[in-house]
Amino acid sequence: MWKSLAGSPWLVPAILLGLVGTAAILRRRQPRIYRDLSQRLRQCVAPLILVYGAGAVSLAVWGLQRRCPDVGLLQRMYEAIQLLLFNMEADVVTANWQLKTAAVLSILLTLTVAGGGILLWFHESWQTLALRGTRGHVVVCGLGSVGSQVLRDLLERRDGWQLVAIDSDADSQMYSWATEMGVLTLKGDVSRADILRRARVSAASEIFIVTGRDVVNVECLVHVRASCLSASRASSRGRTVRCYVHLRDQKLMEVLSSHNSQLEHHGKEHFFDVVAFSAASLSAQRTLEQITRIW
């Protein structure tokens, strides 16, 4: 019976779980397809809901009028809403082609609403769910000029690990490109501890702190170290998190290097390794190496 199947309390959860699973697979395995679907749904979900809803109600009222001519308009409207809620007997639904078509439209309406909500409105929740349980991933904090190059290099040599990128500008071209390439992107300030916790920096294998400001990079480093310290105290496993920090100020690099031993060790456990670098120095060094080879 239509009512026993469609009216079952398990139907809508089953549809939602199916859409959740499909969206999760697309988001992880086929990020470009996921992005295209999200953009298209954003454009057409409202018109589709209007068309499916109006069509289902109109056809249901028409079909009920043909089946029971003596029933009033309000009663037919009520029965039409029951059909949208999958709460109608099968013999009524199959009475004529209008009711059959209305039933199909009601299913399409449910799928459109659920799919649109999952793919569009809960996008950030997907990022959080995808990060839960993730370990050994690589986190890039900042998608500026340095962070963009670091992310490109990581994508070229990626060997099975998950990449996570954090940036405050979700509308930037690099942020969109990273999402298309399958990188888990988080919008937020990298100097905030809650954003870093969402990225699970304490469970990462490598962290690149590469914003364009030294102050922000140092603040981010402090929060990352605190998170890793808490994780090392809570776990008996000896695991080292390597953190690369981009600094423009040479004196600040020297200060950080001199205190590196204090940042690296907690008691007798080696849990945090800091490497400070300057993109300008590396570029100059590479240029000198190229000139030397030419000479």
Query: Of 88-102, 125-139, 190-204, which has the strongest mean pLDDT?
Result: 190-204
User: If we measure between CA atoms, which residue out of 199, 196, 198, 239 comes closest to residue 221?
Assistant: 196
Sheet holding 206-209, edge to edge: 184-187, 163-167, 138-141, 206-209, 241-246, 272-277
> Averaging pLDDT over each range in 23-37, 91-105, 209-223, which range is the top one?
209-223
Concatenated DSSP letters of 231-281? HHHH--S--PEEEEEE-S-HHHHHHHHHTHHHHHEETTEE-EEEEEE-HHH
Beta-carbon-side half-sphere exposure of residue 291 (alpha carbons within 13 Å): 6
Section 158-162 average pLDDT: 69
Can you tell me the mean pLDDT for 47-58? 86
Distance CA(15)–CA(22), nearest Å, equals 11
163-215 pLDDT per residue, tens: 899 999 988 889 888 877 778 888 899 999 999 998 889 888 899 999 989 99
Which domains does the chain possess?
A: 2-121 (no CATH), 134-294 (3.40.50.720)
Q: State the chain's mean pLDDT as an integer.
A: 76
- Evaluate if residue 285 carries a pLDDT over 60: no
pLDDT at 4 over 50: no
Higher pLDDT among residues 87 and 251, named by residue: 251
Share of the chain above pLDDT 90, in %: 12
Q: Which of 24, 22, 224, 231 is nearest to 129 (CA)?
A: 24
CA nearest 139: which of 116, 167, 101, 103? 167
Token representation of residue 164: 């996570």
Q: What is the pLDDT of residue 208?
A: 93
Query: Where is pLDDT greater, at 19 or 6?
Result: 19
Between 243 and 256, where is the model more confident? 243
Whole-number Å distance between alpha carbons of 37 and 24: 13
Structure tokens at 84: 């949208």
